[in-house]
Structure 1
Amino acid sequence: MAVLGVMMMMVKNQVAEQGMFAVLQRIKDLDIDAVEVSQIPMSEENTADLERAVKELGMIVGALSVALKPGPTATGDNLEENFDKIVSDCKRLGTKFVRIGMMPHRAMASKEACEAWAAECEQAAQRLAAEGITLCYHNHHVDLAQFDGERIFDIVRRVAPSLYFEVDLHWVQRGGMAPLDMLELYSGVCKIIHVKDFRVQPLPAEALDAIESGDRATFQSLFNNIVQFAEVGQGNMNWPQLLPAAEKAGAEFFFIEQDDTYGRDPFDCIADSRAYLASIGY
């Protein structure tokens, strides 16, 4: 069975305020045994706390977030400038996956730019593989855009066969592809799964006020933006089918993630997600 964890981007503010080890202890107390580290500096202090949690709490550091190069979408170490440090961190923590959270925006804009970026990823993936580390790419809905009938996902896989995927099932759904189809199509390639629900909220009062006052533009904007990130089990995703399918597709980690908690304490959201997953056998 895939190891269940949490995407620490959700608690980055708490790490900054309370320290890494204290947050990891709280995560462990929620019956969660693994983490993926993203948008949190891999400073010596944080890395030492992660190492301590591995030894003292039995925590698994399933994946570290990296960028290919420095740039607007890079939020931490990058493989161009920090390759040796990234490898050292992985070996120190027993981590075998690193993941790129998003391709540069320009790479999303044309087939040629996407192919060029993917070719660089292939080189980086091969270099990491020589160190026993697997490079994964995390999708958003934009990765379902097509150039000449070929999805960005497919372009990346064609050009970078050594690169594996971290599949965010919410973003697949939002991109207009059935998540079960995605898992079947990329079976054997999906190493990490982001478990994030897809909620459609009721029409807000502001939308009703706008349409009644004749402001159709405001109404349409509000009507088109009623999708939310949700605690697992509180949206419309079919997790009892999706999670077994993800394991069949080769997933080794399931990371709970919620990009926006809409004012709720993220630990409460994680606890709700964890309780639901336990109720369906995870």
Structure 2
Amino acid sequence: MTAPIALQLYTVREALARDFAGIMKQIADIGYVGVEPVFHPSASSGHGLPGTTIGEAARLFKELNLVVPSAHVPLPLGEDQNRVLDFMAALGCKRLISMKGPESFETMDLVKQTCDLFNEAHAVAAENGLELGIHNHWWEFLQIEGRYAYRVMLEHLDPAIFFQIDTYWVQTAGLDPAQVVRELGPRAPLLHIKDGPAVKGEPQVAVGDGVLDVPRIIQAAEGTAEWLIVELDHCATDMMEAVEKSYQYLVGGGFAHGNKG
């Protein structure tokens, strides 16, 4: 059985700032089953859902039958803890996804310290009935002192912490995303699917139009991927057209299931 398809809302951040409700309706009309919001405490809105409130967004998602399988948030620690927990509760979302920048992976000691931080955040999440996942970029898949950082992480993280593998960034780092997905198995229940030249700094394209072997990646995730989440950071074409084309490629090709054929 294929996994359902969702859209990471960072993809349409500029359009959402102009017309939040209208863009959300377009996403639902395309057929996306779910959406993955982003929480930015520093955003002018105070949460990263522009032009609306968290409560209004939650009601709109429900009205449009859009599931919220996960959300990108800061680690629920320090001054962000209550704000993150409140955000997750308002959306009725149980899986929070976080990440750290490249400076946290420059040495082996820093990688281990970063794992300690993730473990601390996991304890807070678990106490509040939530699961913590880690979203990667390319730097987790570079070698440090002869070892890939992500494999060091696997040894030092609490085994309950899962990975949201961004397959595009794995390939950008020079590794095979299908092999990584297969290696992690059920520890990677959420996949970010994007496409493009797999070159840092270059714009991305609709899924299916770039260099990633998407069918092979999804085959590697068969039986373990619970959601396929489309995300484009920057696009060489019109973003909404790419969002629809990505849906058509994944659902039309039988790689994911959506609300419309």
Q: 2: distance between equivalents of 1:104 and 1:199?
A: 22
Q: Does 1:191 align with 2:189?
A: yes
2:113 aligns to what? 116
Deviation at 1:89, TM superposition (A): 2.4
Normalising by the residue count of structure 2, what TM-score does the alignment of the two structures yield?
A: 0.86
Q: 2: distance between equivalents of 1:270 and 1:104?
A: 26
After the TM superposition, which residues 27-176 of structure 1 pair with which residues of structure 2 at under 5 Å, given as runs? 27-38=27-38, 41=43, 42=47, 45-68=52-75, 79-100=77-98, 102-161=99-158, 162-176=160-174
Question: Which has the higher mean CA deviation after the structures are superposed, 225-234 or 121-130?
Answer: 225-234
Deviation at 1:39, TM superposition (A): 6.3
Q: 2: distance between equivalents of 1:79 and 1:2?
A: 32
2:39–2:71 CA contact under 8 A, matched in 1: no
Deviation at 1:145, TM superposition (A): 1.3
Q: Structure 2 counterpart of 1:9, which letter? A: Y
CA 30–4 in structure 1, closer or farther in 2 if over 3 Å, else same = same
Q: Structure 1 counterpart of 2:116, which letter? A: A
Normalising by the residue count of structure 1, what TM-score does the alignment of the two structures yield?
A: 0.80
Q: Does 1:181 align with 2:179?
A: yes
1:274 aligns to what? 247
Deviation at 1:276, TM superposition (A): 0.9
1:206 aligns to what? none
1:180–1:245 CA contact under 8 A, matched in 2: yes
Deviation at 1:118, TM superposition (A): 1.0
Structure with higher RCO (Cα < 8 A, 6+ apart):
2
1:198–1:228 CA contact under 8 A, matched in 2: yes
Q: Which of 207, 228, 231 lines up with 1:232 in the alignment?
A: 207
Deviation at 1:59, TM superposition (A): 0.8
Q: 1: distance between equivalents of 2:23 and 2:123?
A: 34
Alignment size in residue pairs: 246
After the TM superposition, which residues 211-230 of structure 1 pair with which residues of structure 2 at under 5 Å, given as runs? 228-230=203-205
SS in 2 for 1:135: strand
1:253 aligns to what? 227
Structure 2 runs not aligned, ≥5 long: 257-261
Structure 1 runs not aligned, ≥5 long: 69-77, 201-223
Q: 1: distance between equivalents of 2:201 and 2:192?
A: 21
Q: 2: distance between equivalents of 1:233 and 1:104?
A: 28
- Extract structure 1 runs of 4+ deviating beyond 4 A: 224-228
SS in 1 for 2:186: coil
Deviation at 1:228, TM superposition (A): 4.6
1:216 aligns to what? none
Q: 1: distance between equivalents of 2:94 and 2:134?
A: 14
Q: Does 1:18 align with 2:24?
A: no
Question: Which has the higher mean CA deviation after the structures are superposed, 267-276 or 224-233?
Answer: 224-233
Pair member with larger Rg: 1
SS in 2 for 1:61: coil
Q: Structure 2 counterpart of 1:35, which letter? A: V
2:203–2:235 CA contact under 8 A, matched in 1: no
SS in 2 for 1:58: coil
Q: Structure 1 counterpart of 2:156, which letter? A: V
Deviation at 1:225, TM superposition (A): 7.4
Q: Structure 1 counterpart of 2:8, which letter? A: M
2:259 aligns to what? none
Q: 1: distance between equivalents of 2:200 and 2:177?
A: 21
Q: 2: distance between equivalents of 1:104 and 1:226?
A: 16
1:195–1:232 CA contact under 8 A, matched in 2: yes
SS in 1 for 2:110: helix
Q: 2: distance between equivalents of 1:236 and 1:117?
A: 31
Deviation at 1:226, TM superposition (A): 9.3
1:199–1:234 CA contact under 8 A, matched in 2: no
Deviation at 1:193, TM superposition (A): 0.6
1:218 aligns to what? none
2:179–2:220 CA contact under 8 A, matched in 1: no
Deviation at 1:12, TM superposition (A): 0.9
TM-superposition CA deviations, 1:246-281 (whole Å, max 9, x none) = 243x2222111112112x321111011111112211
